[in-house]
Structure formats: structure tokens, C-alpha cells
């Protein structure tokens, strides 16, 4: 596979964006280079040249998906003061529950699951890195004393577990009203617990 460059060519960027749109619509499970190349106006030879092989393209697509995921997290990361765990989780859930994000989140769920069952494939490390990304951002949303405590680590782990579980439920059922009520209830419990601390 060609080495990843900090400055990909305009054609590589264009084809990656087109392939990403294709992956959002069709998923990655049955991705085949020939139909993908035809759909995005390229050829398997060009894709192989730019990305090395199918695994290289999948890795590039996962990195592209991670960029979209991190865009939301960066918003929370760059606030002037820690917003608190419950308000941060509310913002995250609002984004996760938005119907327009479902294709990206289905792609995320597919990659997350594949990373668990195929740890040596192009998915390698995806699940772990996404957990680390989210826990790091949730930590930055906590006030410093809470962030550095064992209880703070437990609270952000619980918050992430609630968000991830609710997301999987939402993707499986499309029942946004029911799942959002459950998330709001859990976040209210989180606020109450924080108030007692």
C-alpha cells in the first residue's frame, strides 16, 4: 500500500469522498472494488494505485468516517470551560439521534463490530480508538477534580456506555422517541448523582 501522505492529491481526495458517499449508502461488508470504481467514475487500477488494495481503501474510509465523528467531539473539546458530563452527553445524543447522521452511524457500527471480530484486518484498532476518542472528550467536559478521580472515570465510562447502547438500539429500531426518553432519564440520574457528590 502506498504510504499515507499528509497532502493527498486532489484526485485521491475526490475519489475518497466519492467512495465514502458510496460506503455510507451501501456499507463496507460486501465492498467490492469493481462496482465501487464504476459507481464513482474510476477504475480498479486507479483505486489500487491510490490506496494500495481493498484493505488500504477500507482503512482510508474508516479514517474518513472518524473525521466526521471527531468533528462533533472537537466542538465539545474546544469550549472555554468544561460543560459538565450530562450537558456534553445531551449534545452528543442530539447529534447521534438526528436522522441525517444515520448513514454515518450505521457505518460506524459496522466498523466497530468488524474491528471486534476481525482484529487483524483493515478494521484493526477501530473499536479501541473510537472508545478512547470519546472517553478523552468526555473527560475534558468534566471539571478537573472530577476528571482526575476514579469516580470521574467511572461516570464517563457509564455515560459512554449509555450513549453507545442507546445508539445501537436506535439504529436497530429507528424508535427515536423511546430511546431519547431513556437517554434523558439516565442523564437526569447522572445530574442528580452529581448534585449529591
Residue 12 in domain: no
Residue 57 in domain: no
89: closest CA among 158, 151, 150?
158
Across all residues in the chain, what is the average pLDDT? 88
* pLDDT for 3: 40
Residue 81 has what DSSP assignment? S
Whether pLDDT at 88 is above 70 = yes
Residue 24 in domain: no
Q: Which triple of cell numbers denotes residue 67?
A: 473525521
Residue 54 in domain: no
- Is the model more confident about 71 or about 42? 42
Residue numbers of the domain that contains 184: 62-196
Residue 18 in domain: no
Domains in the chain, number: 1
pLDDT band at 195 (very low <50, low <70, confident <90, very high): low
* pLDDT for 38: 94
Whether pLDDT at 37 is above 90 = yes
Residue 55 in domain: no
Q: Is the dihedral of CA 69, 75, 77, 78 positive or negative?
A: positive
Task: Give the whole-angstrom CA distance, residue 163 versus residue 167.
Answer: 6
Question: Tens digit of pLDDT for each residue in 102-120?
Answer: 998 999 999 999 999 988 8
Amino acid at each position: 500500500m502506498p504510504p499515507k501522505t499528509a497532502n493527498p492529491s486532489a484526485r485521491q481526495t475526490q475519489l475518497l469522498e466519492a467512495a465514502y458517499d458510496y460506503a455510507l449508502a451501501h456499507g463496507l461488508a460486501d465492498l467490492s472494488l469493481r462496482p465501487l470504481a464504476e459507481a464513482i467514475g474510476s477504475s480498479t487500477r486507479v483505486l489500487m494505485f491510490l490506496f494500495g488494495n481493498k484493505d488500504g481503501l477500507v482503512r482510508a474510509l474508516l479514517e474518513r468516517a472518524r473525521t466526521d465523528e471527531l468533528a462533533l467531539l472537537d466542538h465539545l473539546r474546544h469550549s472555554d470551560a468544561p460543560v459538565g458530563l450530562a450537558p456534553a452527553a445531551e449534545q452528543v445524543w442530539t447529534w447521534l439521534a438526528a436522522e441525517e447522521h444515520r448513514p454515518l452511524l450505521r457505518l460506524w457500527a459496522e466498523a466497530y463490530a468488524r474491528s471486534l471480530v476481525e482484529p487483524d484486518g483493515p478494521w484493526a484498532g477501530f473499536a479501541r480508538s473510537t472508545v478512547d476518542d470519546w472517553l478523552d472528550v468526555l473527560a475534558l467536559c468534566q471539571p478537573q477534580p472530577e476528571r482526575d478521580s476514579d469516580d470521574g472515570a467511572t461516570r464517563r465510562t457509564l455515560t459512554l456506555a449509555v450513549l453507545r447502547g442507546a445508539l445501537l438500539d436506535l439504529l436497530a429500531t429507528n424508535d427515536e422517541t423511546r430511546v431519547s426518553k431513556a437517554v434523558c432519564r439516565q442523564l437526569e440520574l447522572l445530574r442528580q448523582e452529581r448534585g449529591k457528590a
